[in-house]
Structure 1
């Protein structure tokens, strides 16, 4: 089958855009790694000094005229030794000539500047090498399964959170009744009752504020609707039974974007207080 005349240009455009995306992804990972390195580089000596101050404070205010317990002294010595070794090792790696780190002695702001420049370069190149509308619509259709998988993954996450909260409420509520019945009067178990009541209050408030059950339902519903439209487009059935593929793709992209906009609106409504939700509805 002969290739279209513009196939090499299209391939070059695709390769260039992929190269830009790889460069941006690499810079983002380098920024994350560098932040961790800087955090460890300055965090470990600060933690070492804080440990010394804590040890000195405990000695002055609690054990001024006596010796500290041997177990506590051993814990402080062990943690201090670890922090000291970690500090020396990180500074040695940072300032060595053959550092295994990719960006030693490089400020994070310089990497962020490189990232901003790379993103600007990608935008300019994308504008100059923008593929035709039909190709973008085909690419949009091919990216949809990943979006559906993401929505279902988030839906499963919120569903697990909701189930965990519900089981925690069940167990703690039952435990309160059991402890109260076992200890009558409940003086020996007063601390346990306070802790269980605190857990029930916190979990109930968190479930009412974050609404994991509603979020899971909305995400699953949006994913199912997207998959239904993708299947209809693939099979060429209504509402994508037109003989013109470009018309079907245009209608498909419009419908999916409408579904995504509705999902974002539902998420915003869940993030608002109850009074604000009634006003929006």
Structure 2
């Protein structure tokens, strides 16, 4: 029996991944359907109970306003219609079909486990050679560099917005204090600006967007440098193709591990960072 070629092997592995992703999507959809089936009638009962409780608590000895009656009535009608529609779709054939109608989430979860197990077994049987996997890893590296740069730009923008908000708030406090003497009616504005400055300062010190942006950009630049060196065949990639790919994969994985370690250090308190370092 001949072994499948690399193209057919890739197609089979991709198909298994698609099957797993499809089952994950179906489980999410089914959970939403079940939540609607049980949650909407519960909300209907809760709205009716709130209607009665409000009448007996606030308007016990007098008539309840028509606007309040109308609001509770509309809420109850909406929940009742939603419940009837969902039960009609689930248990009859007159409406359109839901995907996996009548299927339990536990059965779909079991199918997902079996699909993942099947994917693992097939991947073990159809796994290409180490050189082919390393070459594929190298082709995925530009996407990783783009992701790192995108996250770096995001944190850099967050840091800039925080800094500009701090600048504007600090200047506004000084301006409002000088303009209004006595402080009314600028007191409320001063309180809001002071609260904004406190929150932004605390968030900047806790989330450290500037440091995160710098680390992500540095990792992306280093990985891109190694990609260029591998393409050009310059140091340290001056050996054979197989050795170069192995060295490249090991180097990039080391950089990614170091990047994750730096992110974990940023999530630690200052004392915890010193202990980790």
User: Is the structural similarity TM-score above 0.5?
Assistant: yes
After TM superposition, give the deviation of residue 67 of structure 1 in Å.
5.0
After TM superposition, give the deviation of residue 152 of structure 1 in Å.
2.0
> 2:117: which partner in 1?
120
CA gap of 1:139–1:40, structure 2 versus 1, over 3 A, is same
1:212-249 CA distance string (max 9 Å, x none): 2222221122112112211221222222132x111110
Mapped partners of 1:172, 1:46: distance in 2: 46
> 1:27: which partner in 2?
23
> 1:3: which partner in 2?
none
1:35-75 CA distance string (max 9 Å, x none): 22223333333333333344444444444445556655554
Q: Is the deviation greater in 90-99 or in 109-118?
A: 90-99
Mapped partners of 2:76, 2:178: distance in 1: 48
CA gap of 1:37–1:173, structure 2 versus 1, over 3 A, is farther
Alignment equivalent of 2:266, drawn from 262, 266, 270: 270
Mapped partners of 2:54, 2:222: distance in 1: 62
Mapped partners of 2:64, 2:182: distance in 1: 40
SS at match of 2:5: helix
> 2:147: which partner in 1?
150
Alignment equivalent of 2:255, drawn from 245, 255, 259: 259
Alignment equivalent of 2:48, drawn from 40, 52, 63: 52
1:165-189 CA distance string (max 9 Å, x none): 3333334434444444444333545
Matching of residues 125-136 of structure 1 within 5 Å: 125-136=122-133
After TM superposition, give the deviation of residue 76 of structure 1 in Å.
4.0
Mapped partners of 2:192, 2:51: distance in 1: 31
Mapped partners of 1:188, 1:72: distance in 2: 37
> 1:198: which partner in 2?
195
Alignment equivalent of 2:232, drawn from 226, 230, 235: 235
Mapped partners of 1:156, 1:109: distance in 2: 41
Gaps of at least 5 residues in structure 2 are: none
Mapped partners of 2:76, 2:162: distance in 1: 39
Q: How many residues align?
A: 275
Q: What is the alpha-carbon root mean square deviation over aligned residues?
A: 2.6
Mapped partners of 2:105, 2:202: distance in 1: 39
After TM superposition, give the deviation of residue 262 of structure 1 in Å.
0.4
Q: TM-score, normalised by structure 2?
A: 0.86
Mapped partners of 2:125, 2:3: distance in 1: 17
Gaps of at least 5 residues in structure 1 are: 1-5
> 1:222: which partner in 2?
219
After TM superposition, give the deviation of residue 256 of structure 1 in Å.
0.3
1:72-120 CA distance string (max 9 Å, x none): 5554444443333222222222223364321122222222222122111
Mapped partners of 2:147, 2:12: distance in 1: 27
CA gap of 1:149–1:50, structure 2 versus 1, over 3 A, is farther
After TM superposition, give the deviation of residue 259 of structure 1 in Å.
0.5
Mapped partners of 1:235, 1:49: distance in 2: 70
CA gap of 1:213–1:96, structure 2 versus 1, over 3 A, is farther
Mapped partners of 2:157, 2:63: distance in 1: 50
